[in-house]
A = this chain, B = another copy of it.
Amino acid sequence: MKKTILLTALVLNGLTLFAQSNDEKNIKLFYKKALTEAKCYSWLEYLSNDIGSRLSGSKGAAEAVEYTKRQLESIGLDKVYLQEVMVPHWVRGEKETAYILDGKVKTNVPICALGGSVATPKTGLTAEIIEVQGIKELAELGTDKVKGKIVFYNRPMNPENIETFTSYGACVDQRYAGAKEAAKLGAVGTIVRSMNLRLDDFPHTGAQSYGDLPKEQYIPTAAISTNGAELLSKTLKANPALKFYFKQSCETLPDVLSHNVVGELTGTVSPENIMVVGGHLDSWDLADGSHDDGAGVVQSMEAIRILKNLNYKPKNTIRVVLFMNEENGGKGGAKYEEISKQNKENHIFALESDSGGFSPRGFSIEADDVNLKKIQGFKDFFEPYLVHSFTIGHAGSDISHLTSKAIVKAGLKPDSQRYFDYHHAANDKFDAINKRELELGAATMTSLLYLIDQTGIVIPAAN
């Protein structure tokens, strides 16, 4: 396939060298500003400690929309506006309770309802419980062995993978589709081992879907802490006939109106070419979502703040988008794309930060070979900042909706070792954030935005 260079002038060697040196200086400046005068940490403190959790449809989510809009307005961008979007409104209700009933011995275990789950009966649900390592094993058991029971999905995240997201991806089907599959076989509920590499007492919530199951077949589903899962598994081995009790009162209310928050620096050369940088405003309800994805929100805001503050005039339009409803519906990302299509917009690049506010290690890139190599060609710029990894991989849920013809996507890739200690759990709070790590991530994002804005992406030739 023939390629042509978009927005990139051919330059003589001398000029290239000058430009390179200028880029190095600018990138150094981005990091300096991020480490000495960034606002992202104080923004995140407000989002986490003053607003708190921000599940779609909640008061916190609405406050976060207003707060971040005000902050973007204070930066002095060319445009700041909201995009209306209807979002699901699931509420947890009372704190869940659960115990193992082994003969007459009751042992409490920490659980939390999974997002989108139905409630148990008001007095709770007691049944025998059967452990499986996944949906495949469940299917092999068949209806006879499952009917009337609670299914306990207990496949742990694989500790051998270096990138923890790999282990998450290999486990999360139990959480997302476990209830649906168990319901088909007549199970009365499911309990899922938390997506957590540590052994601790925090149950981790997250999205689940009943898919195309008729509503009357929905069964309640909850996550159990990893320590709870270990205990349950051990106790079950000793007494396979034990019973499990859990009670939850969550419910799905009618959809509510919410918003994406958008801010723009209009391009000075090709304003029709749009570069998005974003994260998602909503969080789960158990904590403040400081890592998921408060960090990504404030880093995206910081990236555009740094550029504006330096009076940088982007060639392309740079747009910060704070998406609503990534966690349980993806309605914000879908709405953004819908409006973008209506407006016949052309996105050339999208950058998302939704993997926590830890030390930046690189980018996870969705691009063809030519653009991947182009971005990998920036490696030397990032070396002084210990940002080394530029590999093909998932860039981000919110920007996954974007379908412009030649778009390149990237996700900030922070160090992933601690991420699942906090992910969707009650400890995803501001004190788990390190200011410098957050700021370094913001500077890393600013630098990639800048380099792409300066050099463009490679698009397939029309012929």
A311 at the interface (CB under 8 A from B): no
**Chain A 158-202 near chain B by CB (<8 Å), digits 1 or 0:** 011011100000000000000000000000000000000110000
Cβ–Cβ contact A162 & B32, under 8 A: no
A388 at the interface (CB under 8 A from B): yes
From A51-59, A291-299, A415-423, give the one contacting chain B.
Answer: A415-423
Which of B160, B163, B434 is within 8 Å of A417, CB to CB? B434
- Nearest-neighbor residue (CB-CB) of A421 within chain B: B434
CA distance A436 to B197 in the complex (A): 9
Contacts of A440 in B (CB 8 A): 162, 417
A385 at the interface (CB under 8 A from B): yes
Near B by CB (< 8 A), chain A positions 354-410 give 359, 361, 384-386, 388-389
Contacts of A159 in B (CB 8 A): 35-36, 436
Contacts of A197 in B (CB 8 A): 436
Cβ–Cβ contact B389 & A418, under 8 A: no
CA distance A330 to B386 in the complex (A): 31
Give the number of copies in the complex: 2
Contacts of A102 in B (CB 8 A): none
Which of B32, B35, B386, B435 is within 8 Å of A389, CB to CB? B386
Contacts of A384 in B (CB 8 A): 162
CA distance A36 to B160 in the complex (A): 7
Greatest chain B CB density within 10 A among A159, A163, A361 is at: A159
Greatest chain B CB density within 10 A among A162, A197, A198 is at: A162
Which of B32, B359, B385 is within 8 Å of A415, CB to CB? B359
CA distance A155 to B440 in the complex (A): 23
Which of B162, B198, B436 is within 8 Å of A385, CB to CB? B162
* Closest-CB distance, A52 to chain B (whole angstroms): 22
CA distance A389 to B383 in the complex (A): 9
A437 at the interface (CB under 8 A from B): yes
Contacts of A99 in B (CB 8 A): none
Given contacts A386-B389, A388-B388, contact A162 B417 (CB under 8 A): no
A210 at the interface (CB under 8 A from B): no
Near B by CB (< 8 A), chain A positions 199-228 give none
**Chain A 23-57 near chain B by CB (<8 Å), digits 1 or 0:** 00000000110011000000000000000000000
CA distance A162 to B389 in the complex (A): 17
Other A-B pairs, 9, CB within 8 Å; known A35-B159, A421-B434: A32-B160, A36-B159, A162-B386, A163-B386, A197-B436, A359-B415, A388-B388, A417-B440, A418-B437
5 A-B pairs with CB atoms under 8 Å apart are A159-B436, A163-B386, A359-B415, A415-B415, A417-B436
